[in-house]
């Protein structure tokens, strides 16, 4: 996994400065020769254009290289996250994920309590219906 560190970036800046330093040294030599003739001014501007074009191409190459590295890292991160989600899903399916087991246990306990309450309520309702039935039978015997 290629990663650019600050040291490398600083080295790039140093190289850039060195390039400028070389240009400054050659430009001072060119300035001395420029004073001798006007035709050499055209040559220095052509060199500056060539140098600018070369620097532009270097920067574009570096930028495309960084974009490629960024895309690669982004894809790698996506794959890692996808594998983590798949692993978590497998844990949930297998019933081993702790963050889902605790709420599941609470829900099951709540379900058991509600089932007991519903059973007790059913029994009371049945008893009430039986009592009403017996009451009606007793009332019909008395009349």
Confidence at 28, pLDDT banded by 50, 70, 90: very low
Q: Which residues of 1-36 are buried (b: 16+ CB within 10 A; e: fewer)?
A: eeeeeeeeeeeeeeeeeeeeeeeeeebeebeeebee
pTM attached to this predicted model: 0.43
The per-residue pLDDT for range 76-113, each reduced to its tens digit, is 999 999 999 999 999 988 888 888 888 989 999 999 99
Quote the pLDDT of residue 99.
87
- Taking the alpha carbons at both ends of the chain, their separation in whole angstroms is 97
CA–CA separation, 108 vs 16, rounded Å?
A: 67
On the question of pLDDT at 21 being above 60, the answer is: no
Q: Are 76 and 1 in contact (CB under 8 A)?
A: yes
């Amino acid at each position: 996994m290629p990663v650019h560190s600050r040291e490398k970036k600083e080295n790039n800046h140093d190289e850039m400065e060195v390039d400028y330093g070389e240009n400054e040294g050659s430009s001072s030599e060119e300035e001395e020769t420029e004073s001798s003739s006007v035709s050499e001014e055209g040559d220095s501007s052509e060199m500056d254009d060539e140098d600018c074009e070369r620097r532009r191409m270097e920067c574009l190459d570096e930028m495309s290289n960084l974009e490629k590295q960024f895309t690669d890292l982004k894809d790698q991160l996506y794959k890692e996250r996808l594998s983590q989600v798949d692993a978590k899903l497998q844990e949930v399916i297998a019933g081993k994920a702790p963050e889902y087991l605790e709420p599941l246990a609470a829900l099951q306990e709540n379900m058991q309590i509600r089932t007991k309450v519903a059973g007790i309520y059913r029994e009371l309702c049945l008893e009430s219906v039986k009592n009403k039935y017996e009451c009606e039978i007793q009332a019909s015997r008395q009349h």
